[in-house]
Amino acid sequence: MTSENSAKRMLFVGPVPPPISGQSIAFMETYKIFEECRPLLIDQNVSGKSAVSTVLIILRALIRLSYYLALKNVDVVYFTCSRSFRGSLFDIVLINLSSMAGAKIVNHLHGADFREFYDRCGPFYRRILAISYRKVCLSIVLLKELKTQFTDLFPQMKVLATPNFYPCELDAIEDKPQSETVRVLYLSNIMKSKGIVELLDAFDRLCRQYPGLLSLTIAGNFMDDRYCTRREIEKSVYKRLNAIRMTFGDCIFFKGFVTGGEKFDLLLSSDIFVLPSYREALPLSILEAMRAGNAIVTTRMRHLTSIISVREGITVDAGSVEALVDGLAALVEDRKRLMAIQFHNMDHARRRYSLGLYRKRMKKIFEQM
């Protein structure tokens, strides 16, 4: 940051781990970039919380927000926008209070669905959102293709793109250990919308086609989404997982939530990273998997196809078991192609998605304010 920007008082409002998610990791890494400026911090992480805990966290955040804006001479407010009705209520209050206090407002979208959320809202609430978001000075998106999430709605808003990153610990990886079997890894929150059910059904078919040649490791926390409750998806996953074990033996492994060295070991000891989500922008998990030397199999959405070409892996139709089977089978049957993708991804991620590059990009963005 320039010396002028370094003197500015900054306030960061967003999800602080735990629980850990791609958004909370990215939020804290952004906060650390400006840590020498001693920015203020408000935790707004309600993931996995009860209704009572959520209300208390939001109330506490609003009280601290009002206090900081009134008494701490805040110049810049950075927040990660919500795409839910409840979360957007907080964002509306944050934007308007910050604007009244004369602070510049920076919004960071960690997703690809703000426009979808906006269009789902009724006309009255859309009007409130529009009035509020016109006060945002700058929005940051993960890919240039996502700029239209805001420019189509707010033409006067400045919108810049910077991709996510992988953690610097992965830079210690210099080589990729190989195996006789093809090791598939699913490492993400376990929700219906992440395509976990389709993946398990596809893996069952693949085990019949290629007996003894495949393994699947699943790691992550069970979570609610709009399709299934946590309990429902947990029951569905364990039913399929146990059926595969009974039929094919120890070819499938469930690790639960992993972090740190255990997580990096899983990434390094896998060959294919699969994330068959119904919707994604630029997940940290895909960038981590690339840097650890994994081929990527993910869904064919316009945002992901801009970063996952045939050189990085394979994209398939969302929600299709058959497409997943075909995509994974293509790599199982062509080990030479698989290895070429693995080594390309290690170098490609190092050159484009390192944490050091993310820090430089974010500093440059704030210098433009």
Q: Please report the pLDDT score of residue 301 as a whole number.
A: 76
Of 47-61, 125-139, 285-299, give the lowest mean pLDDT range: 47-61
Q: Determine contact, residues 236/198, Cβ cutoff 8 Å.
A: no
Look-up of token digits 């990009």:
361
- H/E stretch holding 338: helix 335-352
Residue 5, pLDDT > 60, answer no
Could you give the CA distance from residue 288 to residue 273 in angstroms, rounded to a whole number?
10
Residue 157, pLDDT > 80, answer yes
Q: What is the pTM of this model?
A: 0.88
**What is the tens place of the pLDDT at every residue in 68-114?**
999 999 999 999 999 989 899 999 999 999 999 999 999 999 988 89
Domain 3-165+355-367 and domain 168-352 have a common topology: yes
How many residues in the chain? Answer: 369
Q: Determine contact, residues 51/42, Cβ cutoff 8 Å.
A: no
**What is the tens place of the pLDDT at every residue in 345-365?**
999 999 999 999 999 999 998
Could you give the CA distance from residue 98 to residue 90 in angstroms, rounded to a whole number?
12
The fold adopted by the segment(s) 168-352 is Rossmann fold (3.40.50)
Average confidence (pLDDT) over 108-133: 95
Q: Determine contact, residues 213/301, Cβ cutoff 8 Å.
A: no
Pairing of strands 104-108, 138-141: parallel
Residue 1, pLDDT > 80, answer no
The pair of structure tokens assigned to 140 is 């940051």
**What is the tens place of the pLDDT at every residue in 268-303?**
999 999 999 998 778 899 999 999 999 999 998 767
The fold adopted by the segment(s) 3-165+355-367 is Rossmann fold (3.40.50)
Q: Determine contact, residues 283/188, Cβ cutoff 8 Å.
A: yes
Domain boundaries, the chain: 3-165+355-367, 168-352
Residue 4, pLDDT > 50, answer no
Buried b (16+ CB within 10 A) or exposed e, 345-357: bbebbbeebbbee
User: What is the number of other CB atoms lying within 10 angstroms of the CB of residue 10?
Assistant: 23
**What is the tens place of the pLDDT at every residue in 172-223?**
988 888 899 999 999 999 999 999 999 999 999 999 999 999 999 999 999 8
Average confidence (pLDDT) over 56-63: 94
Residue 258, pLDDT > 80, answer yes
What are the C-alpha distances in Å from 298 to residues 79, 103, 320, 327?
28, 40, 11, 9
Q: Please report the pLDDT score of residue 302 as a whole number.
A: 64
Q: Is 307 exposed, middle or buried (0-12, 13-18, 19+ CB in 10 A)?
A: buried
